[in-house]
């Protein structure tokens, strides 16, 4: 499994699928989901007003990005009430994320869940918990080992969160080393696109 940590924001990650979450009792939308809503010209807010989207626990909604963000498709997961959000609730919801990913056969993914003081969730620890939960969920599908090993996960919350995410991924890699090989790629370890094109 490759984990790519970017200094760019989630809307600029060139992935097939962006996975993010929203709460049922947080309006207006904030954080990553608020930014995505803005990039989609308020589409998610309209869906909320029309009750086509609620943010209830484990709700799953798949929408096309309409080329307004780099990821082609956005998977929204309901996180329930803000006061119930924690590292434990992330671990609990991840198996349902994995089930959806397995059904989609998605392999090039960007994750962004709420973090910060207002949620009592640190960005780095959240990344660690997310990766651990992801592998726990993937363990339910031993016949899909090849798909699991070929996953490419992107994390990008901007330059100011880069070090926190890197630490979270490194911690998860250490904890999970006997279960899965994780290769961490950062901007300094990646070739510019022009170089990649010449080397292909």
Residue 192 pLDDT greater than 80, yes or no: no
**Taking a C-beta distance cutoff of 8 angstroms, is the pair 106, 17 a contact?**
yes
Alpha-carbon distance of 84 to 103, in angstroms, equals 28
Question: Residue 57 above 90 pLDDT?
Answer: yes
- Nearest-Å Rg of the Cα atoms of the chain is 16
Mean pLDDT of 105-131: 93
Spell out the alpha helix ranges (H) of the chain.
31-39, 43-49, 87-104, 123-138, 145-149, 162-175, 193-199
Q: Which of 53, 46, 52 is nearest to 23 (CA)?
A: 53
pLDDT at residue 196, as a whole number: 42
Q: List the strands of the sheet with 2-6, edge to edge.
A: 60-64, 73-78, 17-22, 108-112, 152-156, 2-6, 183-185
> Is the entire prediction scored with pTM above 0.75?
yes
Average pLDDT of the residues of the chain: 89
Q: What is the pLDDT of residues 89-105, one digit of tens each?
A: 999 999 888 889 888 88
Taking the domains of the chain in order of start, what are their residue ranges?
2-199
Kindly indicate the confidence band of residue 147, based on its pLDDT and cuts at 50, 70 and 90: confident
CATH topology of domain 2-199: 3.40.220
């Amino acid at each position: 499994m490759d984990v790519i940590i970017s200094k760019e924001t989630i809307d600029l990650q060139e992935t097939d699928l962006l996975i993010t979450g929203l709460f049922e009792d947080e309006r207006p939308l904030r954080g990553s989901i608020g930014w995505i809503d803005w990039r989609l010209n308020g589409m998610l807010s309209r869906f909320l007003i029309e009750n086509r989207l609620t943010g209830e626990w484990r709700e799953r909604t798949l929408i096309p990005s309409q080329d307004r963000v780099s990821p082609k498709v956005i998977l929204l997961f309901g996180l329930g009430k803000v006061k119930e959000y924690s590292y434990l609730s992330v671990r609990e919801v991840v198996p349902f994320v994995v089930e959806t990913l397995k059904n989609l056969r998605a392999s090039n993914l960007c994750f962004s869940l709420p973090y910060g003081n207002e949620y009592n969730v640190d960005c780095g620890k959240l990344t660690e918990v997310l990766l651990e939960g992801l592998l726990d969920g993937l363990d339910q599908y031993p016949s899909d080992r090849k798909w699991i090993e070929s996953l490419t996960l992107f994390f990008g919350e901007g330059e100011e969160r880069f070090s926190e995410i890197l630490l979270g991924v490194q911690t998860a890699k250490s904890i999970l080393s006997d279960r899965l090989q994780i290769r961490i790629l950062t901007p300094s370890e990646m070739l510019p696109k022009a170089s990649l094109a010449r080397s292909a």
